[in-house]
């Protein structure tokens, strides 16, 4: 009797693993749960400035106006793809865009990157501890959040913002929040 149990335990464990992995294979890995922070107040944060600047970025800077919070890095290829569109938003004074720089190997990298490609940000802070990235549920870069006047997160956009995404999704939401 004991020898049967001894052989059944690994078999039961194997069956449980097979079921677990079978369920996992039915999930679409491209669909991320982006709703976790929606309609929640953004957390308090106070980020250090980019090297050479006097001011960083805090939650208080973002509150009071509908704005975008863009998580980026100088190492990020998709961020470079998105960058000209963010510069266009700044030139057109379309919306304040706040930047959160993260995961830099060298603090001078982002300074050189902004000097080379332009600075679309109203203010930039550096998440040098990784806490802000975790608090906002960042899975990669770029990721951009629409934040309303009260500091409530209304939308999370994953990937580079394109004119189509701006005109079809982000701008209509921003216009509605500004009313």
What tens digit of pLDDT does each residue of 118-145 get? 999 999 999 989 999 999 999 999 999 9
Which residues, at least 6 apart from 156, have a Cβ–Cβ distance to it below 8 Å? 34, 37, 38, 137, 143, 144, 145
**What pTM was computed for the model?**
0.80
The answer to whether the CB of 49 falls within 8 A of the CB of 56 is yes
Query: Per the structure block, which two tokens stand in for 166?
Result: 């701006």
What tens digit of pLDDT does each residue of 85-118 get? 999 999 999 999 999 999 999 989 999 999 999 9
Report the distance separating Cα 72 and Cα 45, nearest Å: 17
- Beta bridge partner(s), residue 99: 70, 124
Q: For strands 97-102 and 67-72, give the pairing.
A: parallel
């Amino acid at each position: 009797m004991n020898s049967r149990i001894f052989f059944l335990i690994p078999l039961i464990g194997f069956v449980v693993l097979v079921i677990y992995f079978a369920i996992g294979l039915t999930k679409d890995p491209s669909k991320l749960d982006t709703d976790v922070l929606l309609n929640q107040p953004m957390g308090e944060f106070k980020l250090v400035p980019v090297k050479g600047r006097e001011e960083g970025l805090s939650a208080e800077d973002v509150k009071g106006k509908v704005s975008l919070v863009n998580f980026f890095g100088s190492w990020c290829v998709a961020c470079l793809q998105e960058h000209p569109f963010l510069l266009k938003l700044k030139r057109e004074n379309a919306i304040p865009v706040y930047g959160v720089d993260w995961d830099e190997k060298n603090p001078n990298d982002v300074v050189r990157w902004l000097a080379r490609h332009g600075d679309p940000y109203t203010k930039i802070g550096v998440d040098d501890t990784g806490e802000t990235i975790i608090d906002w549920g960042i899975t990669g870069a770029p990721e951009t959040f629409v934040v309303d006047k009260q500091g409530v997160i209304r939308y999370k956009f994953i990937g580079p913002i394109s004119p189509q995404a701006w005109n079809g999704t982000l701008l209509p939401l921003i216009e509605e929040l500004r009313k």
